[in-house]
């Protein structure tokens, strides 16, 4: 027996040497029962072994109900990505993708970046279906520890926040394993213009923006069913059109880093899309991406039409033609059909 062997090894060697097989099993059980209580304490306070990441961000955006949640879940299982489990609400909280955080102490920066969607997920689960084992206090403690050790630069607090998020997600399946290349996050919204993209790429010059566009017929059918039934389509389609035009302008200005994708094209050629987007981002094309997941568990479609099914739901490709009357379809195509064709031609 060596002088520096662990307590566990010492107990095991004595037990094996002097006890019967049955007695040894009882001792091992008793030891594990006691030791487990001490191991559990690690999950109540920050561990020295936690992982800090300084990675570029792949940021998915769109008009609401355009497939961004689906796209986030396509990336979810990729072993080279750390994918935020819910929306990343920094835009909605007014973060301008700039160096303004560096003037703050760690606690102020944490509150500025702290995402209110996480509270909803903790209480209700991810998508109200999957458990979300997350410790807010632990995240804050990790953030403080990372902030104290990270070198000063304009992305320091952003790196600390996202690293602390994944470390405090107790059962996150992708924390360990192959070397990580990207954070991936999603946030829907209409305020996506070239000025916003310029600020993002100044903050993340090594990052990517993926802008998801949906056929206006399918988009309106989903939006109408979701809660816009009393509104005129032109009132909503103006928002859709503004977002699509902004996306096309951003592609022209940042052709290497801003990627336009069409939701319907993804659904109809999932494998081809995965290979194209991975090649664009410099990732290995992992077959796990062919089926959307959440924390590596198969994930149902986030649809306005009843309970979605797991996997790729290609029925969404023709939903507008199935749900809208011919006159309404003609009106929407007059308003937005040409613009959609232009966007589709620019898409990956």
Quote the CA–CA distance of 302 and 108 in Å, as a whole number: 34
Model's pTM, two decimal places?
A: 0.84
In the chain, where are the structural domains located? 57-346
Beta bridge partners of 262: 213
Tokens read off for 308? 């979605």
| Side-by-side strand order, sheet with 182-186 | 81-87, 182-186, 57-62, 208-213, 258-262
Closest Cα partner for 258 from 194, 172, 214, 165?
Answer: 194
Query: Which of 79-83, 231-235, 269-273, 277-281 has the lowest average pLDDT?
Result: 231-235
- Mean pLDDT in the chain? 85
Tokens of 107: 């606690």
Q: How far apart are the first and last CA of the chain?
A: 62
Class of domain 57-346: alpha beta
Pairing of the two strands 182-186 and 81-87: parallel
The pLDDT of residue 271 is 95
Question: Cα separation of 276 and 76, whole Å?
Answer: 17
User: Is the distance from CB of 248 to CB of 258 less than 8 angstroms?
Assistant: no
pLDDT tens per residue, range 236-266: 788 889 999 999 999 999 999 999 999 999 9
240 close to 63: Cβ distance less than 8 angstroms = yes
d(CA 289, CA 4): 46
Which range among 229-233, 279-283, 321-325 shows the weakest confidence by mean pLDDT? Answer: 229-233
Contact in structure between 331 and 233 (CB atoms under 8 Å): yes
pLDDT value, residue 239: 85
DSSP 41-107: HGGGS--TT-------EEEEEESTTSSHHHHHHHHTT-TTEEEEEEE-TTTTTT--SSGGGGGS-HH
Q: Residue 168, exposed/middle/buried by CB under 10 A (0-12, 13-18, 19+)? A: buried
As a whole number, mean pLDDT of residues 284-295 equals 93
Residue 43 has pLDDT above 60, yes or no: no
Is the pLDDT confidence value at 2 over 50? no
13 band by pLDDT with thresholds 50, 70 and 90: confident
Query: Across residues 22-29, what is the average pLDDT?
Result: 76
pLDDT of 302 reads: 57
């Amino acid at each position: 027996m060596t002088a520096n062997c662990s307590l566990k090894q010492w107990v095991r060697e004595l037990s094996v040497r002097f006890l019967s097989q049955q007695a040894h099993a009882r001792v091992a059980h008793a030891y594990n029962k006691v030791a487990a209580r001490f191991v559990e304490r690690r999950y109540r306070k920050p561990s020295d072994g936690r992982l800090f990441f300084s990675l570029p961000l792949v940021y998915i955006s769109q008009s609401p109900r355009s497939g961004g949640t689906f796209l986030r879940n396509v990336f979810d299982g990729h072993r080279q990505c750390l994918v935020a489990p819910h929306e990343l609400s920094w835009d909605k909280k007014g973060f301008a993708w700039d160096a303004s955080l560096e003037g703050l102490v760690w606690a102020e920066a944490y509150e500025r970046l702290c995402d209110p969607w996480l509270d909803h997920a903790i209480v209700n689960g991810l998508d109200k279906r999957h458990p979300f084992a997350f410790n807010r206090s632990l995240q804050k403690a990790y953030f403080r520890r990372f902030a104290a050790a990270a070198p000063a630069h304009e992305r320091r607090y952003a790196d600390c926040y996202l690293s602390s998020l994944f470390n405090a997600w107790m059962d996150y399946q992708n924390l360990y394993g192959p070397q990580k290349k990207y954070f991936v996050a999603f946030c829907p919204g209409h305020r996506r213009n070239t000025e916003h993209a310029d600020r993002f790429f100044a903050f993340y010059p090594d990052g990517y923006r993926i802008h998801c566009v949906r056929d206006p017929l399918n988009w309106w059918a989903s939006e109408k069913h979701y809660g816009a039934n009393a509104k005129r389509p032109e009132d909503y389609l103006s928002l859709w059109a503004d977002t699509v035009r902004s996306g096309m302008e951003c592609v022209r200005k940042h052709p290497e880093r801003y990627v336009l994708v069409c939701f319907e094209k993804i659904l109809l050629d999932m494998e081809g899309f995965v290979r194209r987007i991975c090649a664009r981002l410099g990732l290995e094309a992992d077959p796990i991406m062919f089926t959307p997941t959440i924390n590596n568990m198969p994930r149902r479609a986030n649809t306005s039409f009843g309970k979605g099914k797991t996997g790729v739901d290609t029925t969404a490709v023709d939903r507008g033609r199935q749900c809208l009357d011919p006159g309404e379809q003609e009106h929407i195509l007059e308003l937005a059909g040409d613009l959609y064709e232009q966007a589709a031609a620019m898409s990956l």
